[in-house]
A and B are shown apart, each in its own frame.
Chain A
């Protein structure tokens, strides 16, 4: 939760990603309360509406859920849910870009596979 915000991406996306990272790293555990929008707003010096937007993305995905009058909680199974979604996005976020960069540098598919094998 203490990562710096950058200009590279929408603030609310960064908020939801940071909460996801904290869940993946067991900083936030399942069925545990996550910081409120006001707490996040104060921590990052951002508008509470923006913090709420980041939280709502996770609520819509079922990663967080609301307990009336108490706050937002990490859903059971949230960690798996995040992992699965990130696996699905892995191709678009990493492989596609990797292939584009490889192509512009003239690195062939065989070269790429050889590099991966060497590293593993």
Chain B
């Protein structure tokens, strides 16, 4: 038997002359929540759309449990990519569908659709099913994509920016519903987000994508355990971090701060002249994918 996994190998996606994805290799295991983080235009949505065969790769292969996903109904039954809904529709005429039409269509497409769950979530999100999709607010559109993703019951479920547009109370609610569904079902979720700080604790693994390349795929806690911020007098900081992988150097007068990603066995020699602090996922992301400062 082949292992249950979603695997993409050597994915290249080119739009015109731009390589949006460059030789991406990725393996998604069953029963994990992955966080997909990257700056705008890094290739997150393109990657998710290729993994779910909504978009053909220029090069490379995607397989689900050993089966190629492209135009393969059997493989695609395991995958749901709940995309951001464009309220104006694809025709530009405006989207005349109502929420309930959307849900009915989703139920028709998704072989494992959980109608009860969809109804429960619609109720808890206070979504008016009679409302036209084009009349929904940004937050309500997010809720609709979340309902579709969760009720799809697909083994591999991708959510692209699910919390964009949700207020903080609804975001917290979403994380809890997600965790509940995850612990009960053992499905795999990939969630892209720009709100890194509050979602970091949800992710078992984090996938960082920068300019079309995956630069990190690691257990979130392990990654954070090896990231530290060192600051103090410049010479002292240099001495403490010499030979280490120092990123994002900030300087101000005699003072200096660096974010360091330690390798196995490395450590920063602590002393009274420097401050060594833990780094959050968001801070690490900025250090790795952000612009240099100073």
Which residues from chain A sit less than 8 Å from chain B, CB to CB? 5, 7-12, 38, 41-42, 44-50, 53, 100, 103-104
Q: Tell me which residues from 211 to 238 in chain B have a Cβ below 8 Å from any Cβ of chain A.
A: 219-221, 224-225
Q: List 9 A-B contacts (CB under 8 A).
A: A7-B278, A10-B225, A10-B278, A38-B183, A42-B180, A45-B172, A47-B201, A49-B32, A53-B221
CA A21 to CA B278, docked complex, whole Å? 22
The 3 lowest CB-CB distance pairs between A and B, nearest first, are A46-B201, A100-B272, A38-B183
Question: Footprint of A on B, CB under 8 Å?
Answer: 32-33, 172, 175-176, 179-180, 182-183, 197, 201-204, 219-221, 224-225, 272, 278, 280
Q: Dominant SS at the A interface?
A: helix
Question: Given contacts A5-B201, A46-B179, A47-B220, could you give 16 more A-B pairs where the C-beta distance is less than 8 Å?
Answer: A7-B280, A10-B221, A10-B224, A10-B225, A11-B201, A11-B221, A38-B183, A42-B180, A42-B183, A45-B175, A47-B203, A48-B179, A48-B182, A49-B219, A50-B204, A53-B221
Q: How many angstroms between the C-alpha atoms of A7 and B227 in the bound complex?
A: 13
| Bound form: Cα–Cα A9–B201 in Å | 12
Shortest CB-to-CB span from A40 to chain B, Å, is 10
Query: What is the bound-complex CA distance between A7 and B278, given in angstroms?
Result: 8
- Rounded to whole angstroms, the CA-CA distance of A38 and B180 in the bound complex is 8
Q: What chain B residues lie within 8 Å of A9 (beta carbons)?
A: 278
| A45→B278 contact, CB < 8 A | no
Given contacts A42-B180, A100-B272, contact A47 B278 (CB under 8 A): no
Contact for A49 among B204, B224, B272, CB less than 8 A: B204
Q: Using Cβ atoms and an 8 Å threshold, which residues of chain B touch A100? A: 272
Other-chain contact of B221, A44, A50, A103, A104 (Cβ < 8 Å) = A50
Distance from A53 Cβ to chain B, minimum over Cβ atoms (Å): 6
B269 to chain A, nearest CB (A): 14
Q: Which residues of B sit under 8 angstroms from A46, Cβ to Cβ?
A: 179, 201-202
Residues of A within 8 A of B33 (CB): 47
